[in-house]
Amino acid sequence: MSAGRRLDTLGDRESGGDRGASGDRGAGGVLESGGALLVGRGLSRRFPQRGTKLFERTRWTSALDDADVDIRDGSAVGIIGESGSGKSTLIRILLGLDAPSSGTVAFDGRPVDARAAARSLHWLRRETGIVFQDPYASLDPRMSVGRIVGEPLWALDVLTAGAERRARVREVLVEVGLEADMANRYPHEFSGGQRQRIALARALVHRPRLLVGDEPLSALDVTVRAQVLELLRDLRAARALTLVMVSHDIGVVQNLCDEVIVMKDGRIVEEGPTEKVLLEPQVAYTRRLLASIPVIDPPRS
């Protein structure tokens, strides 16, 4: 295994840590938001770091720093970066699962207030779905697959009649490549790939406009990962989904996403069309990230 051959022509240009200019920007360096479904402006998130001594002043650590994000309706956006770069923090804030220390979020022009009562955000939950990294930890082992998948329908008041909910659950299970009668089984009876399909069915059962994946493929083996990747591609085309994919696997982003955001130390350092960013990175950090991808050298003759 060697880092000998990589993505084509990474380029020899050197640049500092300034944010790459791959995307079109308006005044003040803010990405133009025309046609954007999900918009974040000036997003920052700080966490207190408690001292070990009595009366020691509280210090703060920054997980996200002044991030501007525009997710266009119908697009597929990948978010890449090292562990601790702020990817998951950004996603949580955009979905209203955490409140920013500063900045604003809007979905389809409607403000998102994560500090509001949970029920007041039901409108946002109906429009969004999320798939997490570990397909087993995210599924309650005490609940049947039918109850797990159908939970968003009753929790969000999408379908009130039990017969309608059961029919929709069976329908979405088939959509993600499972059998309808699997609704009566439990998570421990399935493989890792099947469990991730169940998690995907739960995220899609209420027909959201935006699907978010937080490392949804990293816990799967290579063959199953390819199958789920193809499934995501097909579902996006069939449903006209907007997709946001957080991933360490740049190959996944390259194959699935139209645009990419590169993060480092809580800041967005580069963004733009996937092909342009990955083949012609403008920022030194992006080049180092791409250079770290291991590849298999061809056999020597």
- Predicted TM-score (pTM) of this structure: 0.82
CATH class held by domain 131-252: alpha beta
Q: What is the spatial distance between Cα 290 and Cα 277, in angstroms, rounded to a whole number?
A: 10
Q: Which pLDDT score is estimated for 167?
A: 95
- Count Cβ atoms below 10 Å from residue 52 Cβ, excluding itself: 5
CA distances 104 to 36, 86, 100, Å, are 14, 17, 8
Q: What is the spatial distance between Cα 37 and Cα 59, in angstroms, rounded to a whole number?
A: 36
Q: Which pLDDT score is estimated for 203?
A: 95
DSSP 141-153: TTS-HHHHHHHHH
Q: What is the spatial distance between Cα 184 and Cα 148, in angstroms, rounded to a whole number?
A: 11
Q: Map tokens 């955000």 to a residue.
A: 121
Give, for all 301 residues of the chain, the pLDDT tens digit.
333 333 443 333 333 445 554 444 333 333 344 579 999 999 999 998 876 777 777 788 899 999 999 999 999 999 999 988 999 999 999 999 999 999 999 999 999 999 998 889 999 999 999 998 887 788 999 999 999 999 999 899 887 778 899 999 999 999 999 999 999 999 999 988 899 999 999 999 999 999 999 988 877 778 888 888 888 999 888 888 999 999 888 888 998 999 999 999 999 999 999 999 999 999 999 999 998 877 766 677 6
CB 26 within 8 A of CB 79: no
Which residues, 6+ apart, have CB-to-CB distance to 240 below 8 Å?
74
Q: Which residues pair with 69 in a beta bridge?
A: 40
Q: What is the spatial distance between Cα 114 and Cα 97, in angstroms, rounded to a whole number?
A: 6
Q: Strand (E) positions, the chain?
A: 36-49, 59-72, 76-80, 102-107, 110-111, 128-131, 210-214, 242-246, 259-264, 267-273
Q: Do strands 36-49 and 59-72 pair parallel, antiparallel, or not at all (unpaired)?
A: antiparallel
| Backbone dihedral angles phi then psi of residue 45, each to the nearest 5 degrees | -140, 120
Q: Which residues pair with 201 in a beta bridge?
A: none
Structure confidence by residue, pLDDT tens digits, 229-269: 888 999 888 888 999 999 888 888 998 999 999 999 999 99
Q: Find the Cα–Cα–Cα–Cα dihedral 228, 232, 234, 235, rounded to 10°.
A: 130
Q: Report the half-sphere exposure of 158 (CA within 13 A, side-chain side).
A: 24
Structure confidence by residue, pLDDT tens digits, 29-72: 333 445 799 999 999 999 988 767 777 777 888 999 999 999 99
- One-letter amino acid for residue 276 of the chain: K
